[in-house]
Amino acid sequence: MESNRKIIHIDMDAFFASIEQRDNPSLRGKPIAVGSPDPRGVVATASYEARKYGIHSAMASQLAKKKCPGLIFVKPHFDVYKEVSRQIQSIFSEYTDLVEPLSLDEAFLDVTYHKKGRPSATLIALEIKQRILDTTKLTASAGVSFNKFLAKVASDIKKPNGIFVVTPADANTFISNLEIEKFFGVGKVTAEKFHRIGIRTGQDLQKLERMDLIRLFGKTGNYYYDIARGIDNRPVNPTYIRKSIGTEETFDQDFSDLTTLNGKLNEIGEELWVRMDKRKTFGKTLTLKIKYADFEQNTRSKTFQSFITQKEQMKSTAMELLLNCKNELFRGVRLLGLTFSNLNTESTDDAIQLTIEF
């Protein structure tokens, strides 16, 4: 097991909600949700007081209200969130240049070689937490380990305002006892798939052969096989490379007829093409995302040997993907999205290939 790196994952606690409570004392200690209370609104995040009622990110606001009638909805202030994000990034950069932000409120730091001469990664993480608190009056949680997977999972263990360290000696026990849904990269759907075949913990996962996992999950099977053994050699990548570009639209009513949905998909396609064009980017894979009225979500993809360089090809592929779902549309569709991935900007190999094709 490669175990000589020191990786920290920092994640702010209830990020948007904590900022709103910081900036408006009357919200402190109360169950709040950042988001719109509108019939079609969703919760972006909930304060810890609200989480006690089972409220979480992406929950429909209506349901959240039912669970907690006293819930206070607060409008987001994205400019403030971005400013706090800049402040924490600047603290990170005092310790290392190997910082990979995952979103506004979280980042990986590789501190194997760092700028401050501290004797341990745990000390650095504690110091960063304190610096964040002093600068922003907000708490963060930290995970410390020897790779990204373990650091990411660890930062969640002692939330809020916690720190958890997984050393090489602890790793195997830690993973064995970890519930499958806590694995970084395992979403709800994958977790259910694992549950169906009796896999609930890391220990269960370790019993599967690499080939079993590849059969079940394709390429990602390799990743699951490795992380079940604490292996994750992905570097902390300071220049974040965009892996996909997408557009989606939540409608203000649910649609179930193919003609209307085709029209909507056409508009989404136009928008996506503008975004691709701005970045001079092409993709080989097009993914259609459908969210139904009952909030269940499905994706369908098609991958081509070469890049999709014609708008009409993108549009006809999108319609084809939608047509594949036509027997489900009666459920009512509340959201459609289109995403390009396998982009020509991802690796130089592909870029070269693209030049040849042109």
Do 305 and 230 contact (CB within 8 A), yes or no? Answer: no
Q: How many Å apart are CA 239 and CA 99, to the nearest integer?
A: 9
Nearest distance in Å: CB 164, Mg ion: 15
Give exposure, 165-174, as e/b (b: 16+ Cβ within 10 Å): bbeeeebeeb
Nearest distance in Å: CB 77, ligand TTP: 12
106 is catalytic: yes
Q: Residue numbers of the site for Mg ion (CB under 5 A)?
A: 11-12, 15, 105
- Tracing tokens 């390009």 back to the chain, one arrives at 340
What sign for the dihedral angle of Cα 336, 106, 56, 33? negative
Nearest distance in Å: CB 307, ligand TTP: 31
**How far is CA 338 from each of CA 284, 309, 310, 350, rounded to the nearest angstrom?**
13, 16, 15, 22
Nearest distance in Å: CB 298, Mg ion: 27
Q: Which residue out of 20, 49, 100, 106 is catalytically annotated?
A: 106
Do 60 and 51 contact (CB within 8 A), yes or no? Answer: no
| Residue 317 interaction partner, one of Mg ion, ligand TTP, none, beta carbon < 5-8 Å per kind | none
| Residue 226 interaction partner, one of Mg ion, ligand TTP, none, beta carbon < 5-8 Å per kind | none
Nearest distance in Å: CB 44, ligand TTP: 3
Nearer to Mg ion, 86 or 116 (CB): 86
Output the CA torsion 230→234→238→244 (10° steps). -110
List the one residue out of 225, 236, 228 whose CA is nearest residue 121: 236
| Residue 45 interaction partner, one of ligand TTP, Mg ion, none, beta carbon < 5-8 Å per kind | ligand TTP
Helices 220-227 & 210-217, crossing angle to 10 degrees?
140
Nearer to ligand TTP, 40 or 302 (CB): 40
Q: Residue numbers of the site for ligand TTP (CB under 6 A)?
A: 11-16, 44-45, 57-58, 103, 105-106, 159-160
- Token digits of residue 346: 């991802």
- Catalytic residues, by residue number, are 106
